[in-house]
Structure 1
Amino acid sequence: MAGLTLIVTLLFSLVAMASAYSGDMTYNPFNGGLGACGKPINNGDATVAVAPKFFTASNPNNDPVCGKTVTIHYNGKTATAQVWDRCQGCGDNDLDATPTLFTNLVGSTDPGRVSITWDGI
C-alpha cells in the first residue's frame, strides 16, 4: 500500500510541474525568418513564440525554453508546437503561432486572435 501511495504522489508531482496557462493566440507569418532561439521559422512549422517572461538566459539562442513542446487547447481541439521564438508584444500567457498551426487549430486565420489554454513549460 505504501508503494501505491508513493506512485500516486509522484504522478501528482509530475502533473503539477507542467503549468496550465490561459491567454490569447495570434498568428504571425514568420516567412523563414530567424526566431529568438536562432532557428529559421517557416509558415508551415508547428511553432509558437512565447512571452518574454519565459526567456531566462542572457543569450536567447541558448535559452532552456527553446525547443520545448507546448500543447494548445482551443474549442475542443488540441495541437502541439515547439517554442522557437519570443513574442515581445504578447501578454504574459499569450502565444503567437505560425499561420499553418493557427489554421489547423482554429479553422482559418480570419479570427486573428482566439482565447486558448496551453501547457508544457
Structure 2
Amino acid sequence: MAGKLVTFISLIFVTTAASMAVPAKRQNFGQGTWFNSNAFGACGNLEFDSQHIVAVSTQLVNQLGKPGVCGRTIVASSGGRSTTVTVTDSCPGCGINDLDFSPTAFQDLADLSVGRINIEWSFV
C-alpha cells in the first residue's frame, strides 16, 4: 500500500512539473516604432542607438515582471525582413503587443522615415 502511495505522489509531482514547463513560442502581432535611446532603460542598462535593442509595452512588463522580460531575446519581422533584439526598456505609449526599436534594429525592418510598421514577433 505504501508503495502505491509513493507511486501516486510521484505521478502527481511529474504531472505538475510537466505543466509548469515553459510555454510554446507565441506569435504576437502589433505595431513597430523606433526611438532614440542613448540613455538608461527601464531594465537598468545604458542603451545606445547602435545596439539591437527594443522596448516592450509597459503593460507587458507589468504582466510578466521585469525579470520576465528584461534581457530576453525577441525575433521580429515585417515585410519579409527580420531582426533579433534584446529587451532593455519599456514603452508607456505602446499597446501590449507593440515594440519600440532602437534605430539600428528598426532599419533591419524598414527605413526610419516610415516610422510605424506592422510587425510579427515572439520571444526566443
| TM bracket, shorter-chain basis | 0.7 to 0.9
RMSD between superposed Cα atoms in Å: 2.2
Specify every segment of 5 or more residues in structure 1 that has no aligned partner in the other structure, as ranges: 1-12
How far did 1:53 drift? 2.4
Tell me the equivalent position of 1:52. Answer: 58
Please say if 1:21 is aligned against 2:16.
no
Structure 1 residue runs of 4 or more that deviate by more than 3 Å after TM superposition: none
Residue 37 in structure 1 maps to residue 40 in structure 2: no
What TM-score, normalized to structure 1? 0.78
**Identity percentage over the alignment?**
32
Structure 2 segments unaligned to the other structure (5+ residues): 1-20
Bigger CA radius of gyration: 2
Report the alpha carbon displacement of residue 64 of structure 1 after superposing the two structures with TM. Answer: 2.5
Task: Choose which of 91, 97, 101 in structure 2 pairs with 1:93.
Answer: 97
TM-score normalised per structure 2: 0.76
Residue-pair matches, total: 104
Alignment-mate amino acid for residue 45 of structure 1: Q
- The residue identity in structure 1 corresponding to 2:117 is V
Question: Structure 2: which amino acid aligns with 1:39?
Answer: N
The whole-number CA distance in structure 1 between the counterparts of 2:76 and 2:68 is 19
Q: Secondary structure at the match of 2:69?
A: coil
